[in-house]
Amino acid sequence: MNDLYFDLLAIRDETFLRDVIFYEEIDSTNSALIKLQQEPVETPLLAIAQSQTNGRGRAGNNWWSNVGSLTFSLLLDFPMLALGELSSFSLTAGLSVCQAIEKHAPAADLALKWPNDVFLNDKKVAGILIEKPSASEPRLVVGIGINLNNDLSEAPSEVRQRATSLFGELGDPLDANRVLIDCLQEIERRSREQVHHREELLDQWRAYCMLTGRQIEVKSGNVVHSGRCLGIDESGALLLESEPGAAPERIATGEVLKF
Ligand code: BTN
Closest listed residue to residue 253, CA positions, set 126, 85, 61 = 85
Is the beta carbon of 61 within 6 A of some atom in ligand 1?
yes
Residue 203 has pLDDT above 90, yes or no: yes
Is the beta carbon of 64 within 6 A of some atom in ligand 1?
no
Closest listed residue to residue 4, CA positions, set 175, 226, 194, 192 = 175
Distance 47 CA to ligand 1 centre (A): 12
Distance 14 CA to ligand 1 centre (A): 24
Is the beta carbon of 129 within 6 A of some atom in ligand 1?
yes
pLDDT tens digits, 131-157: 999 888 889 999 999 999 999 998 999
Closest listed residue to residue 67, CA positions, set 160, 127, 2, 19 = 2
- Please state the pTM of the whole predicted model: 0.95
Q: Are 232 and 204 a contacting pair, CB within 8 Å?
A: no
Is the beta carbon of 63 within 6 A of some atom in ligand 1?
yes
Instruction: Give the residue, by CA position, lying nearest to ligand 1 atom 16.
Output: 143
pLDDT tens digits, 60-102: 899 999 989 999 999 999 877 776 677 799 999 999 999 999 9
pLDDT tens digits, 209-250: 999 999 999 999 999 999 999 999 999 999 999 999 899 999
pLDDT tens digits, 99-138: 999 999 999 999 999 999 999 999 999 999 999 998 888 8
Q: How far is residue 253's CA from residue 126's CA, in Å, rounded to a whole number?
A: 19
**CA distance to 32, 250, 251, per residue, from 239 (Å):** 35, 5, 6
Return the best residue to mutate from 71, 90, 158, 187 for the ligand 1 pocket (most ligand atoms within 8 A of CB): 71
Is the beta carbon of 236 within 6 A of some atom in ligand 1?
no
- Sheet containing strand 123-131, strands side by side: 19-26, 45-52, 70-77, 139-146, 123-131, 117-120, 110-113
Closest atom, ligand 1, to C-alpha of 58? 3
Average the pLDDT over 185-203 and give the result.
92
Instruction: Give the residue, by CA position, lying nearest to ligand 1 atom 11.
Output: 143
Is the beta carbon of 201 within 6 A of some atom in ligand 1?
no
Q: How far is residue 34's CA from residue 31's CA, in Å, rounded to a whole number?
A: 5
DSSP letter assigned to residue 153: G
Report the length, in residues, of the chain: 259
Q: Are 25 and 175 a contacting pair, CB within 8 Å?
A: no
Helix (H) or strand (E) holding 94: helix 86-104
Say which amino acid occupies 112. Answer: L
pLDDT of residue 1: 41
Helix (H) or strand (E) holding 176: helix 176-196
